[in-house]
């Protein structure tokens, strides 16, 4: 393989998405090359040492330098980082893993993950009935977003599909974040301050991608 002219990939560093990369990966379903790379990374049981061929295969880009430029850009944006030691996807069933992971994403400890049918996979801090109702609401909001996507995304250029109930200052009191995983989507519901800048987000997206990714 010819060495790239402008970029040099480390052949010893493993590449791991950051919470920012994990969020970008699942916050929309458009097939841009950066998202394709992140999706592919999250489908691995173990993180990989990247090479140009793998990058091109994952991103769908055909030129070496384009693929390397993309990955360099993703590193600059803090979506990917290199680490010395091989990391493995969290092992175990969702039922066992989700409670602890979810608690790492909420300051108040009130959080749930709902599926596209409006049922929750795991809920922390909410009474059962509240969790059920919030999950149903999350499905309604997702459907509402689908109906008004043209307005929100195209006319208003809002790149987010998340919803929130806000106070007078515009601060979210309860937030609903759709997570696009393969052909499925889930909704993360958090009451209070979300902590999506935490390693728990990487773990969540990783286990969901392995279980439900394409």
Partner 1 sequence: MNQIVEKIVKSVPLSEANIGSIEPVFLTEKQQLELCSVTVLSEHAAHKITRNKNDLRTHVQRIQIFIKEQQTEATYSALVDLFLVLKSNGLALRKRMLANARSTLTTQQFTALKMLLLDGLNTESDVPYAKLTLLTQGRMVEPHQDFIQKITAKTEVAISPIEEAMSYIQHGQLEQAQATLQIAILHNPRQLELHYDLLEIFNKTEDKVQFSFCYKQLLEHNIVLPPQWREMAHRFKVEV
CB 197 → partner 1: shortest distance, Å?
4
Between residue 164 and residue 193, which ones bind partner 1 under the rule CB under 8 A? 167-169, 171-172, 192-193
Closest CA to 114 of 181, 173, 159: 181
What does the alpha-carbon distance between residue 109 and residue 42 come to, in Å, rounded to a whole number?
26
Q: How far is the CB of 93 from partner 1 (least distance, A)?
A: 21
Q: Angle at the Cα of 132 (from 129 to 133), degrees rounded to 5?
A: 90
Q: How far apart are CA 59 and CA 37, in angstroms?
A: 5
Q: Closest CB to partner 1 among 182 and 192?
A: 192
Please answer whether residues 111 and 189 qualify as being in contact, where contact means their C-beta atoms are separated by less than 8 angstroms.
Answer: yes
Build a one-symbol-per-residue string for 68-107: x at contacts with partner 1 by CB under 8 A, - elsewhere: xxxxxx-x--x-xxxxxx-x----------------x--x
Tell me which of 41, 112, 203, 208 binds partner 1, using CB under 8 A: 203
Question: Considering only residues 4-33, where is the footprint of partner 1 by CB under 8 A?
Answer: 5-10, 13-16, 18-20, 32
The smaller minimum CB distance to partner 1, of residues 181 and 201, is found at: 201
Q: How far is the CB of 174 from partner 1 (least distance, A)?
A: 11
User: Interface with partner 1 includes 158 (CB under 8 A)?
Assistant: no
Distances in whole angstroms, Cα of residue 104 to Cα of each of 45, 109, 193, 194 = 22, 8, 12, 9
In order of 30, 39, 105, the CA distances from 108 in angstroms are 32, 29, 9
* Start-to-end C-alpha separation, the chain: 29
**List of residues contacting partner 1 (CB under 8 A):** 5-10, 13-16, 18-20, 32, 50, 63, 65-66, 68-73, 75, 78, 80-85, 87, 104, 107-108, 154, 157, 167-169, 171-172, 192-193, 195, 197-199, 201-203
């Amino acid at each position: 393989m010819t060495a790239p002219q402008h970029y040099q990939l480390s052949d010893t560093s493993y590449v791991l998405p950051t919470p920012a990369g994990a969020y970008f990966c699942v916050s929309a379903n458009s097939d841009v090359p950066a998202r394709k790379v992140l999706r592919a990374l999250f489908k691995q049981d173990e993180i990989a040492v990247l090479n140009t061929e793998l990058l091109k295969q994952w991103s769908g880009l055909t030129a070496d330098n384009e693929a390397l430029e993309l990955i360099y850009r993703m590193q600059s944006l803090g979506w990917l980082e290199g680490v010395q030691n091989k990391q493995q996807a969290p092992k175990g069933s969702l039922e066992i893993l989700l409670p602890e992971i979810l608690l790492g994403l909420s300051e108040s400890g009130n959080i749930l993950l709902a599926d596209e049918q409006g049922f929750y996979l795991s809920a922390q801090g909410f009474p059962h009935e509240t969790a059920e109702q919030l999950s149903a609401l999350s499905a309604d909001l997702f459907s509402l977003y689908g109906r008004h996507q043209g307005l929100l995304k195209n006319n208003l250029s809002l790149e987010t599909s998340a919803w929130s109930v806000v106070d007078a200052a515009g601060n979210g009191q309860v937030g609903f974040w759709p997570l696009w995983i393969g052909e499925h989507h889930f909704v993360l519901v958090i009451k209070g301050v979300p902590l999506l800048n935490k390693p728990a987000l990487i773990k969540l997206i990783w286990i969901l991608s392995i279980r439900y990714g394409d």
